[in-house]
Structure 1
Amino acid sequence: MSTLLSLSRQYCRANICTILRRPFTQSLVAQARDKKQSKIRTPSKKALAAKQKRRAAKAALKQGKLEQLSLTDAILTLRAVEVASPKAMYELFIKTEMGTGVAVPKGRFKLPKEAKARAEEKILVFAEGRQAEEAKKAGAHIVGGIEIIEGILNNRIRATTYLCTTSLIRAITPRLGRFLGQQGLMPSERRGTVTDDIAGYIERIQGTSEWKADKTGNIHMPIGSMHFSADEVVRNFNHFMTSVKKATGNIKDNRQKETKKPGKLQNIAHLGTLAISKVLLSSTRGPSIRIIDY
């Protein structure tokens, strides 16, 4: 009996040593996993295209379920929903089709009847000499040269709009380009904020507000309070849509002028027309209604 037990122990030890010496990649579990992974096929271009088509059809079906009304009917519908909420707001949503390498659309506007109190604007101008004096007379809040760069970098000096003369733009760009560029505030010839007509630019933006799309090209804007009349909401809607269409190149802006360099304009529209694919009107507690006559 003892002999059998001894042989049994030796056999078990031999098997255990064999298992320990065998690498894990050769185990039955690892082999089964590798076999399963080897069967996974990379989808073909045709299959990927079909999948993309199905996704697009599903998205179109989802959008098709949204109520689609004319602007006037949408206003009346939302007013009925918010009948007990006189402080509710009409909210406008606009989706633009942005491609790669296209700047985020932005523009300025002044509604015929302000939807809510406008945020106070603070204008900073990089200018020297006579142009600095003109900027101060035109209403600029902060005027200076390269000596105010350090204050901007330390956040001691802040503004909502930054303008610069053509003679100083090269001096401020190395230090402020990335800092202000990340905030969308860096003066730019394309946006018209690098100019020698500082007084004229300040005069044009007085009493206006700036709108700006997000990184995906979506624009959100309150365009009226629930106690506004339908005609007042329509006028605000049309005014704001005109500003968006000009900034996206869907309407030609008469103020766009060619610069000395061919192919460049002082507006974002020179990058091409950005299609407006969707316009929705909603309220604080109401549904989103797709507008068909914008």
Structure 2
Amino acid sequence: SIAENDNLHRYGAAGLDAYVDGEYLRTVVPPSLVVHELDLFSGVTKKERDICLYLPLFSVVKVIGLGINEGSNLASPEPFTLPDPVVFYGTSITHGGCAARPGLSYPAIACRDLNLDFVNFGLNGCGRGEAEVAKILARVKAACFVLDYSQNNPSAESLKNNYAPFIRILRKSQPEVPIICVTPIYWTPELSGTEGPSIHEELRQVIRDAVSALRGEGIEDLFLVEGNRDMLSPEKGDGLTDGLHPNSLGFHYMARGISKHLSEILFEE
């Protein structure tokens, strides 16, 4: 099925991105809801390539098969820098809405730049920090957890009730894996003073307080990233599609911000 929404580009909703040797090649989009054979590499010279495919952000895909030309072969890709993935948990922003195509979500950009595998648990409208979800994430052997889910909570009190318990569940299962806590990025009502702009700052303060308290409990390798400063700040408002969700430019801003922290945490300590 193909998702449709006013703030979604069709390439992002239903396209499939092909990257070759780390560089973008093309996007293919099925024209309708039937089984399709999509040709990604017609007319290219024959040589060994490292290929990465990003599946659609907002559509259900069933891969029936993968075909190659006669005389070609499949081999293992070049290994990632680390054996375990970075695990992202969050909202539709984490998911990739409203990127122009699948390879432009901020987790995809950041991990591609650092040659890291990643798992994206961005849940459109449903990233609310339930304990049951934390237990599922805790079963994924991770190089790092990135928590970016605060905006899906209906209130600061709701986030306060689940944030520290969520982290404790992850830490109990994986005691030495870094956990990055991301506060909300900038959204335009903070500039205009409409639609309850204070809620984002309240959510930010809940996260700051939780990180401080958990560090006081002796929980280590817990890192705070200020989303509205380090990832998408007020002077980068052109990076937003609808005042809340980033566009492709905004995801580049976010990726540059989080990749700096990932690099420092995973490679420089």
> What's the TM-score bracket when you normalise by the shorter of the two chains?
under 0.3
TM-score of the pair, normalised by structure 2? 0.27
Higher percent of residues as helix: 1
* Higher gyration radius (CA): 1
Structure with bigger RCO (C-alpha 8 Å, 6+ apart): 1
How high is the TM-score relative to the length of structure 1? 0.25
